[in-house]
Amino acid sequence: MGRIGTVIALVLVVYSCYFPGSHTEITAAQEAVITTALSGFDTAGIQSVIQYIDNRYGVWGARYATNSNIINYQNYLTGLFTSYGYTDITLQQVQCNDPGYTSAPGPLYMNNIIVVKDGAGPPVVVIAHWDSVPNCPAIDDNFSGCAGVLEIARLAYSLNFENRLVFILFGFEEESLLGSSLYADTMSERPKSVINLEMIGFTSPKENPYPGTDLLMGFPTTGDFVGVFATDFSETLGLNFIYAVDTFVPDLKYYFMITDQNFGNNPLLSLLMRSDHTSFWEKKVPALLVTDTAELRDGAVYHQTSDNYLSFDPVFHERITRAAFAALCIEAGIQP
C-alpha cells in the first residue's frame, strides 16, 4: 500500500472489520501488460482535448440541455471514441421534465453516450457525466472525468479482457442523476462493477473539514489526495483500485473508505450519494466513487465560471486516470 494509504488503511481495517476482503490477484504477465499499456499514456493528447473543451466554452457555451450547441459537444465526444476504433456507440435519450437549473420549462433532452468493447463476462463499466450546470466551463466538474474515461477507452481498445467493457458518459447528472437512473433501470445486463470518475482534476494546499469528517480519523487536511469511496458490497472493487494505485501509481495519495449500507451514520453521506455511482449502489451493483472532493478544498471552483483549465491540475488528473485504467484491467481480467 502507498504511504498515506497505509496509515488510513490501518484505520479503515478497524472501521471496516465486517468486510475482511482482499484484492484480486494478478499474474506477473498481467502486471507487465498493464505497465506496457500505461507507457502509452497520451499525456499531450488528453490535455489538448481538455484544453479544447475549455476553449469551446467561449464559443459553444455550457454543456447544459437548454443550450442548442450541446450537440456539438456530443458529436465531438462520439467522434473521439470513433477515432479510437470503437464502432459500438449508442445514444440513449434522457428526458428531464422538471429542470432545476433553469426557469425554462421542461421537458429537456440529453443523451447518454454508451460505448461497448465486446467480451465474454459481465461488463465492467467506467462512467463520468458530460453535462454541466449552466454558465460554467465545468472542466473539473466533470470534463475531467470524461477525459479520464476517454483516455482509458483509448488505452483499452487494442487490449483483450475476459469481461466486456462499457464506457458511459451520462447526461443529466446535475439534474437528479436522471441519465444514470434511466440506464440502471433499463440495462439489459447487470454489470460486474462500475467505476465513477467524478471530479478528478482539482487540488489545493488545504482540505477543509466537512461536517463530521473530524470523526473520520486520518481524513486528510491537504487537498492533494483522491477520495475512493466503496460500499461493503463493492469492497473487492475498492481494494482492487487501491492495489492498482500502490502498484502502478505510487505517487498518488488517496483516502479510501468502505462504508456499510447504513449510510445514515456516515458523516460524508451527502457527498457520497451525489453522483452517478449512486444509481448502481441502489441496485446493489458494486460501484466506486473516485473524486477529488473539490467542494472541500480551499479555492474551490465547484460550479463556478472559474472551473476552467487555469484551475486544473493535469499531473493529478493523469495519476488518477492511470490508476483507474489499471483498476479496470484488474477488474476485467486483462489477458496477457
Binding interface with Zn ion (CB under 5 A):
141-142
Q: Are 169 and 101 in contact (CB under 8 A)?
A: no
Length of the chain: 336
Q: Measured from the CB of residue 319, what is the shortest distance to Zn ion in angstroms?
A: 19
- Please state, in angstroms and as integers, the Cα–Cα distance from residue 165 to each residue in 22, 46, 54, 60, 141, following that order: 23, 20, 28, 31, 24
Q: Measured from the CB of residue 129, what is the shortest distance to Zn ion in angstroms?
A: 6
Q: Which is nearer to Zn ion, 174 or 246 (CB)?
A: 174
Q: Which three cell numbers stand for residue 41?
A: 499514456
CA dihedral defined by 77, 78, 82, 87, rounded to 10 degrees? 150
**The dihedral sign for the CA sequence 81, 83, 88, 90:** positive
Q: Give, as one character, the DSSP assignment of residue 308.
A: S
Q: Are 308 and 57 in contact (CB under 8 A)?
A: yes
How many CA within 13 A on the CB side of residue 129? Answer: 35
Q: Which is nearer to Zn ion, 141 or 151 (CB)?
A: 141
Q: Measured from the CB of residue 2, what is the shortest distance to Zn ion in angstroms?
A: 25
Q: Measured from the CB of residue 251, what is the shortest distance to Zn ion in angstroms?
A: 25
Q: Measured from the CB of residue 55, what is the shortest distance to Zn ion in angstroms?
A: 21
Q: Which is nearer to Zn ion, 235 or 276 (CB)?
A: 276
Q: Which is nearer to Zn ion, 114 or 133 (CB)?
A: 133
Q: Which is nearer to Zn ion, 141 or 313 (CB)?
A: 141
> With helix as H, strand as E and coil as C, how does 55-93 read?
HHHHHHCCCCCCCCCHHHHHHHHHHHHHHHCCCCEEEEE
Q: Which is nearer to Zn ion, 163 or 293 (CB)?
A: 293
Q: Measured from the CB of residue 173, what is the shortest distance to Zn ion in angstroms?
A: 6
